[in-house]
Amino acid sequence: MDALDLLLTRTSMSRLEAPAPNAEQLDIMYRVALRAPDHGQVRPWRFLTIEGQGREALGELYAKALIHQNPQASAEQIKRARAMPLRAPMIIVIIACKQEHPKVPEYEQIIAAGCAAHGLLLAAQAQGLGAFWRSGEMTDNKHVTQQLGLQENEQIIGYMYVGTPSSDCKIGAQLEPAEFVSSWPN
């Protein structure tokens, strides 16, 4: 696929099914992610790959976290939380690893990790795969972050759902640059 074609049609794909990326495709996705712009070469990121039964374990974690957070949660809410990670055959947890740095403030490090996440989206699509970046309350739930092994300086910036797009994924409308761009000075 031509690079500009890919960049001009990048689209999130919410309906994902098996197969998950194979080892080679996943390696390429991570290599692209690691090309993210990174002030000071801080490498403010790391990733967890979750697939197969790991997704069920993540669902269990979500269900426990919900009950802990809201003991009144209904059976339906708990069931929904448990099923969330089953919406794709693979989930990549994107973690920003914030480090003290004399020149690179924390927000720049989070942006760099976000650029890495964008790389995952692009590299998935380039290989005929699909991906969808999700966040929600399970990104900063203490129970979840502890069980996933995050340190104090770390933050989940998203769960990237990855798989094979079901055939009905549509490319989003093209926004017009003129609506967002102006010259300065006028």
Q: Which spans of this chain sit near ligand FMN (rule: CB under 6 A)?
A: 11-12, 132-136, 158, 172
Residue 43's alpha-carbon distances to 27, 152, 159, 184, in angstroms, are: 17, 17, 19, 33
Cβ proximity to ligand FMN: between 104 and 124 the closer is 124
Q: How far is the CB of 184 from ligand FMN (least distance, A)?
A: 27
Cα 159 from Cα 165, distance rounded (Å)? 17
Q: Which residue matches tokens 């340190």?
A: 151
- Count, residues in the chain: 186
Q: Which is nearer to ligand FMN, 62 or 132 (CB)?
A: 132
For residue 47, which of 111, 99, 120, 105 has the smallest C-alpha distance? Answer: 120
In eight-state DSSP terms, residue 93 is E
What minimum distance in Å lies between the beta carbon of 84 and ligand FMN? Answer: 10
Nearer to ligand FMN, 102 or 177 (CB): 177
The token pair that represents 140 in the structure block? 């900063």
Closest distance to ligand FMN from the beta carbon of 10 (Å): 7
User: Is the Cβ–Cβ distance between 104 and 39 less than 8 Å?
Assistant: yes
In the complex with ligand FMN, the residue whose CB is nearer, 45 or 132, is 132
- Give least dist CB 117 to ligand FMN, A: 7
Closest residue by beta carbon to ligand FMN:
12
Nearer to ligand FMN, 71 or 177 (CB): 177
Shortest CB 120 distance to ligand FMN, Å: 11
Question: Among 92, 89, 94, 81, which Cα is nearest to 166's?
Answer: 89
